Structure 1
Amino acid sequence: MSNYKLIYFDGRGFGKPARQLFHLAGVPFEDIRVSFEELMPGKQSESWLEMKEKMAFFTETPFGRLPVLTMDGFELAQSAAINRYLAKKFGYAGRDSEEEAWVDAIVDEFKDYMECLRPYIYGQRDGKSEEELKKIHDEVFVLVKNKFLNSVDKILKNNKSGYLVGNGLTWADLVVADHLHTLDNIKELDDVSWLNLKKYQEMIYSLPELKSHIYTRPKREM
C-alpha cells in the first residue's frame, strides 16, 4: 500500500478537497498540519518564525510553500495539481475527457472568483477599518459573489443530477460545497436567494464517507 503524506496548514482553504478525497476513497494518509493561528497578523511567535526557517519541508519543497503531497518518493506541490491528481487516482475527476474538462473549468472559474475576492479577504486580515471593509464588501464582494453563485446555480439546474458535472460526485463539488459552507458560516448565503445552493451543499456534506470527517474536523470559517 502506498504511503501518502499531505503537508498543509491547519485550515481548509483550497487544499481541503485533498483531505476529503482521501476520506471518500477510504485511503489512509498522514495529515501533517502547520498551525494556522501562527500566521495571523500580530500572532507570529518567535518559535513559529524559527520553525519556518528550519522546517525541511518548506526549504525542500518544489516551490518553497505548502501544500505538498508525498507518496513513496513522489512529491507534488500546488493545491489544484494535488486535488486533480488524487481525484483522477480515486475516481472523482469525471467519467470521461469531456467531464474532466468541465470539472477543470468549474475549478478554474472558482480560482478566478477567489482572486477577485482578495481585496476583501486580505482587507480583513490586514486590519482595515470597518468603513473600508464595508465599502469593499458592498462594491466588490457582493457583486463578485452573486455572479459566481448564479453561475453555479445555473449549472446545477441544467445538469439535473444534483451534481455539478455528470451523474456523480467530482472534486469540483468538493471545492464549491466547501466554499458554500464558508459563506453560510459568515452569513453570506441567505435562504431566500440561495436556497437551492444551500440544499446542494447539505447534500454533499451528508454523504456517509464525508459526514463523519466534516463534523469532527477543526471548525474554521475560511
Structure 2
Amino acid sequence: MPVYKLHYFNLRGRAELARLIMSQAGVEFEDVRFERTEWPALKATMPFGQVPVLEVDGQMLAQSNTISRYLSRKHDLAGKDDWEQALADMYADNINDLMTGMRPAFLEKDADKQKELYEKFMTETVATHVAIVEKQLEKNGTGHLVGKELTWADLAYYGFFSFLVEKFGEDFLKDASHLKSLIALVAELPNIKKWVESRPKTEI
C-alpha cells in the first residue's frame, strides 16, 4: 500500500474531497495541515507553488481534481467504465466551479458586502445548479449521480453541499429531495461518518 501524505491548509477547502475518498476507501494517510502564516516558507517546496499536494511514496502530485481522480481510480470509486468515469469527472468539475464561484464572498472583508455576495451566490449560482442536478439524480434513478454505485462524484457533492447546509441551513434544498437523500446517504457511510467525527473542526 502506498504511503500517502496530503498537504493543505488547516481547512476542508479543496483538499477535503481527497480526504473523503481516502477515508471511504479505508486507506491510511497523513493529513499534513499548516496555517496560512506557515505557507510562505512551504510554497517553494510544492509543485507549481500551490496546494493541495498529494505525496505518494515521496512523489508529489498537485491539482485538487487530479489528486481526487487518481485516488478514486486507485480505490474503485471512479466509475465502472470509461463513460461513468467521464460523468464522475463532469460532476466533480462542477463542484470545482462552484467552489471558485464562492471564493469572492469568502475573501470579502466587509461583513455587509460579504453577506450580499453569499446571498447572490446561493440564490443565483447554487439554486440554478441544484435544480439541474435534482433532475439528473431523478433520471439516473439509483440514488447516485453516476451508475448504480458510489463514486467520487457522490463524495464531491456531499463534501460541498454538506458544508453549505452547515453554513446556510438546508432551506435551499427544499425542492431537491434526491440531492438531500444523496447527502444523507453519504453522511451515513461508516467510514465517512468516522472521518467527519474525527477531523479537525474548521470554518470551511
In 2, the alpha carbon distance for the partners of 1:100 and 1:31 equals 26
Q: Deviations over 1:146-194 (max 9, x none)?
A: 0111122112111111110001111111111111111111224216334
Please, which runs of 5 or more residues in structure 2 have no aligned partner?
none
Please, which runs of 5 or more residues in structure 1 have no aligned partner?
40-47
Deviation (angstroms), 1:67: 1.1
The one-letter code matched in structure 2 to 1:24 is Q
Structure 1 residue aligned with 2:187: 205
2 and 54 in structure 1: CA distance in 2 versus 1, 3 angstrom threshold: same
- The answer as to whether partners of 1:14 and 1:175 remain within 8 angstroms in 2 is no
Structure 1 residue aligned with 2:130: 149
Say if 2:54 is the partner of 1:69. yes
Structure 2 residue aligned with 1:106: 91
Structure 1 residue aligned with 2:4: 4
- Within the candidate set 46, 60, 63, 1:78 is matched to 63
The one-letter code matched in structure 2 to 1:197 is L
188 and 145 in structure 1: CA distance in 2 versus 1, 3 angstrom threshold: farther
- The answer as to whether partners of 2:46 and 2:53 remain within 8 angstroms in 1 is yes
74 and 202 in structure 1: CA distance in 2 versus 1, 3 angstrom threshold: same
The one-letter code matched in structure 1 to 2:76 is G
Return the index of the structure with the highest Cα Rg.
Answer: 1
Q: How does 1:86-105 map to 2 (within 5 A)?
A: 86-105=71-90
Deviation (angstroms), 1:88: 0.5
143 and 77 in structure 1: CA distance in 2 versus 1, 3 angstrom threshold: same
- The answer as to whether partners of 2:54 and 2:67 remain within 8 angstroms in 1 is yes
Structure 1 residue aligned with 2:154: 173
Q: What is the total number of aligned residue pairs between the two structures?
A: 203
Structure 2 residue aligned with 1:160: 141
In 2, the alpha carbon distance for the partners of 1:15 and 1:155 equals 26
Percentage identity across paired residues of the two chains: 35
Deviation (angstroms), 1:199: 2.4
- The answer as to whether partners of 2:9 and 2:34 remain within 8 angstroms in 1 is yes
Q: TM-score, normalised by structure 2?
A: 0.90
Q: TM-score, normalised by structure 1?
A: 0.83
In 1, the alpha carbon distance for the partners of 2:87 and 2:143 equals 15
134 and 18 in structure 1: CA distance in 2 versus 1, 3 angstrom threshold: closer
Deviation (angstroms), 1:105: 1.0
Deviation (angstroms), 1:73: 3.3
- The answer as to whether partners of 1:67 and 1:77 remain within 8 angstroms in 2 is yes
With 161-170 and 23-32 compared, the bigger mean Cα shift is at: 23-32
- The answer as to whether partners of 2:145 and 2:153 remain within 8 angstroms in 1 is yes
Partner secondary structure for residue 170 of structure 2: coil
Q: Provide the alpha-carbon RMSD of the alignment.
A: 1.9
Structure 1 residue aligned with 2:41: 54
